[in-house]
Chain A
Amino acid sequence: MNGLLSPGKYFADGNFASAEGAIMAGCRFFAGYPITPSSEVLERMSRRLPEIGGHFIEMEDEIGSMAAIVGASNAGLKSMTATSGPGFSLMQENLGLGIVTETPTVVLDEMRAGPSTGIPTRVGQGDVMQARWGSHGDYAPITYAPNSVQESFDLAIEAFNAAEMYRQPVIIATDQVIGHLSESLVVKPPEEYTIVQRLIRKKREEDSKVFSFSDDFIPMFIPGTGFKGNVDSLTHDERGYPSNEASVEKEMLEHLIGKIKKNEDKIIKYEEYEIEDAEVVIVAYGITSRAAKHAVKLARKDGRKVGLFRPITLWPFPEAKIRNLGERIRLFIVPEINYGQYSHPVREYGCRETREIHFPPGEIPDYKIILKNIEEVFP
């Protein structure tokens, strides 16, 4: 048909789903440097994009990859890269460039065991805080954490939509297990998906603004189509001109952070399971949430009032939701494949005792360990 994945039911892995979801969302430019466990995303893009009139570049490294997708987006294409921890570290500087130039693009980080090159083929969840704070300076990132092959597809589309709506790089923080496990994937006809198309400025306006700090989403212009404007990494005013003034910095930052803050209710997504009467709530994301859900099901059979809160967007942090839960439950349990990252904001905003479970990177979390922790906190 139109080069998009045919509607139907597939038995596929997360990397396949991420790539095809991105294409469905309109991604037509991919720049990347192969890295386990995300290489299959790049590999698939290298075959699929040329088929449908898109562009694929294997770059010299991840610094260049991130720069290329920011550039391609500014030239008018929906763009993306895929990487894992070591590459994600290298991308942080230009991720900030994407933030400050308000460039829509998508970065998929498939988390593996770290630090440094760690264990390339094995799972980790150690990049969660890096997704929040990795680049220097202040900003408000949007980060999705799929926990299935289906979500890898669906959230790829959402990530592109959010990138276009809020004009900034959006991160998909998936993990090695989700990327490589196969399960069923249902793909709907293209017309049933909501795809946010970019607003592009056609006519040159008199004030020649490149950015708008008052209304959030002014259409982007494409260089070479009659517009002249400055897109700058330095602190800039609405015309894009650099400034050394703290007042301009304030105005720009309040816009960059404010555009996300104001729309949190639309951006934040989560799943709640058995939460209504829960005394203890597990907060888990990605592959760990599936072990947690299994443990909750088993614990419920024994009459233990435990529920699961699964952030689908890790960032912005679901502050209000966690605060409300904290007011009425007696304990949070936060299992993660790291030594305690997401547990910090849970404790900070939940204002409630928070028990951490640290799964060492390298293995799929054992639900029995989560179950044992649940049993320990119920007398």
Chain B
Amino acid sequence: MRTGVRMYGIGGQGIITLAKLIGEAEVEDGKYVIMTEEYSPYVTGGWSKADLVIADEDPDYPLPEKIDFLITLSQEGFDTNFRSIDDSSRIIVEKELVSVPENVKHRTLEVPAMEIAKTLKNPRGANMVMMGAFAGLTKIFSKDSAKKVISRRFPNYVDVNLKCFEAGYERGDSFGR
């Protein structure tokens, strides 16, 4: 079984970091993961994209054959991808940055990630909120592994990032039910 996840956003939002941490958490759980990344030539302000293939056995081919989950923090990410994904795919968007047509709303989790991050005094932690939302919605990697990799990645900012993750997790978990 191969699960395809696409993450999309603007350079500076931490899209690549988000993808790497999800990948690391999956590896902690013993899964096979391949991550490919792409970005426009700008460092900050251009588009940024990462794809993950998550599988129980070696997936060989590094690209997802199907996007099962789209996580986007930019309107461009939604507009350029949502037509090419099928009706069973789930979408997670940053609520303030992405407006979603009515007919897609039932399978879209809208997370006010920036607002949550700001309230938790970690304005750069929107990507961690999104990671939590994805984990809560899918349970595709364990909370323990997520906490482990976040702590390893931000040794000086463990608490604020875990708070963001937890807040996102709740949103995802309740939407998933």
Contact = CB atoms under 8 A, between A and B. Distances in A.
Interface residues of B, number: 17
B61 A294 contact: yes
Contacts of A290: 60-62
B27 A181 contact: no
Contact of A184 (B20, B32, B39, B61): B32
A294 B62 CA distance: 10
A180 B60 CA distance: 15
Contact of B60 (A184, A294, A364): A294
A347 interface: no
A259 interface: no
Interface string A346-367: 0000000000000000001001
A181 B62 CA distance: 8
Interface string A8-21: 01110000000000
B160 interface: no
A312 B147 CA distance: 38
B34 interface: yes
Given A9-B27, A121-B41, A183 B60 contact: no
Given A11-B20, A11-B23, A297 B60 contact: yes
A170 interface: no
A293 B58 CA distance: 11
B34 A182 contact: yes
B35 interface: yes
Interface residues of A, number: 18
Interface string B29-41: 0001111111101
Contacts of A31: none
B24 interface: yes
Given A177-B36, A293-B60, 16 more contacts: A10-B27, A11-B23, A11-B33, A121-B38, A177-B62, A181-B35, A182-B33, A182-B34, A183-B23, A183-B32, A184-B33, A287-B62, A290-B61, A294-B61, A297-B60, A367-B61
- Ranked 10 nearest A-B pairs via Cβ: A294-B61, A182-B35, A11-B24, A11-B27, A294-B60, A183-B34, A293-B60, A290-B60, A11-B23, A184-B27
26 contacts: A10-B27, A11-B23, A11-B24, A11-B27, A121-B39, A121-B41, A180-B36, A181-B36, A181-B37, A182-B20, A182-B23, A182-B33, A182-B34, A182-B37, A183-B32, A183-B34, A184-B32, A184-B33, A287-B62, A290-B60, A290-B62, A293-B60, A293-B61, A294-B61, A364-B63, A367-B61
